[in-house]
Amino acid sequence: MILFPPAKVNIGLNVLGRRQDGFHEIETVMMPIALCDILELLPVDHFEFKQSGYPIEEDYESNLCVRAYNAMQAKYDIRPVYMHLIKNIPMGAGLGGGSSDAAAVLLGLDSLFNLHCSTSELADIAAQLGSDCPFFIKDEIQLAKGRGELLSPVDLDLTSYWIKLINPGIHISTKEAYENVVIDEASDLSEIIKSPVSKWKDNIGNAFERSVFQRYPEIKDIKKSLYEEGALYASMSGSGSTVFGIYTEEPKLSPNYSDQWVFKLNV
C-alpha cells in the first residue's frame, strides 16, 4: 500500500492562552496542500521502519509513525508491517509533516487490515499522538480549536488560487515557538475567514510571527517579498519557518531558495 500524507498551512493562528494541562488554547484554519510525503505499508513477519529523504531528528521510538503503529497494534492486535517513509516535507517547518505521516499510518492500517474504524475512532487515537494529527484524518479545510483537536469544517473554496511556499531551512521546534509566543487578544477567525482573500492581509495574522521574526529576520523578509511580487495574502505557517503566499495567478519561483514549491490549490 502506498499513501501520500499531505502537508498543511495555517491561515491565521491565534494563541489564546496557556491551559491547565500545559498545552495552549489556539484557533486556526488548517488547509491541506499538494506537497506530500510518501508512505509504504506492507504486512510482514517482523516490524520494520525505514526512512529516507529529509532527515528526521528524533530517535526511533519517538517517531510518530512508529508510535501510530504501536497505538493501533495495542488496540487491534494487528500483525507487523514494513513501513518506508520518504520525507518530502521538511521537519520543523510549520507544515505538519510528522503529524500527517502519523495520521496516514492510522488510515493505512485501518484499510490494510479491514478494521472498519470510524473517523471519530481514528481521530481519538490521532489526538493521543499530537495536536495536529486529528486534522489529517480528513483531507479538507478545517477550523481547529482547543489544542488543535477540536475540528469543524470551513466553507471555503480556494480552487481558483495558487500557493507558493518558501522554506529557508531554519528549524523551529514547537517547544521553542511556544516558549516565546506573544499572546494577544484575538479576533473571531471563524467569521473573518469568510471575507474575500484580498481582505485577509489586514485581518488575519499568526501569533508566532512577532517573536520568530525578531529572532530570524530572514523569515520576515520572505513574507515581505511575497507581497511585493503580488500575493493577496502571505503568512508564516504554524510556528514556522515556512512562509506561503496565495495568488490569483501562478507565481514564479524565487532564485534564492532551493526549498520552494508552487501549486494550484485543490480545496
Active site residues: 8, 132
Cα separation of 64 and 130, whole Å?
A: 9
Amino acid letter for position 170 = I
CA 33 to centroid of chain Cα atoms? 9
112 contact partners, CB below 8 Å, separation of at least 6: 1, 41, 43, 81
**Cβ atoms within 10 Å, residue 243:** 30
To which residue does cell 509513525 refer? 65
Cα separation of 156 and 195, whole Å?
A: 10
Cα separation of 246 and 56, whole Å?
A: 29
**Cβ atoms within 10 Å, residue 188:** 9
Strand partners, 10: 30
User: DSSP secondary-structure letter at 139?
Assistant: -
Torsion angle of alpha carbons 118, 20, 7, 212, nearest 10°?
Answer: 170
